[in-house]
Amino acid sequence: MPKIDMPGVGRRLEALRLALDLNRREFSESFGLDPSSYTKTAEGEKSLRTQHAFAIAERWSVSMDYLFRGRLSDIPDHLREAILSHLNGQD
């Protein structure tokens, strides 16, 4: 069974958060996760639970494929461009 790249998930979460111009508390509370758990998830120390990934996907119009695999194809253009900008800035 393939392993989930948790640091990659964390980078994609942070890129989405920054693209939305939200602080960590605002972003984490938007999908029902406490800020300290979000920080651990964003840093790749803790897994993103499916229920939270689904809530993020529904709330922010991103796909679970983006969160877990980095696929940007189903994300609205304006959001995709902002996410890419933040992802490229982290490299």
Which residues lie closer than 8 Å to 57 by C-beta, 6 or more apart?
Answer: 63, 64, 67
DSSP string across the chain: -PPP-HHHHHHHHHHHHHHTT--HHHHHHHTT--HHHHHHHHTTSSPPPHHHHHHHHHHHT--HHHHHH---TTS-HHHHHHHHHHHHHH-
Given the structure tokens 């902002």, which residue do they identify? 82
The pLDDT score that the predictor gives to residue 91 is 42
The pLDDT score that the predictor gives to residue 90 is 54
Q: What is the mean pLDDT of each run of 10 residues along the chain (91 residues)?
A: 90 97 98 97 95 97 95 92 88 42
Amino acid at 88: N
The pLDDT score that the predictor gives to residue 3 is 85
Tokens of 39: 């920080």
Tokens of 50: 């499916």
The pLDDT score that the predictor gives to residue 8 is 95
Domains in the chain, CATH or no CATH each = 6-85 (1.10.260.40)
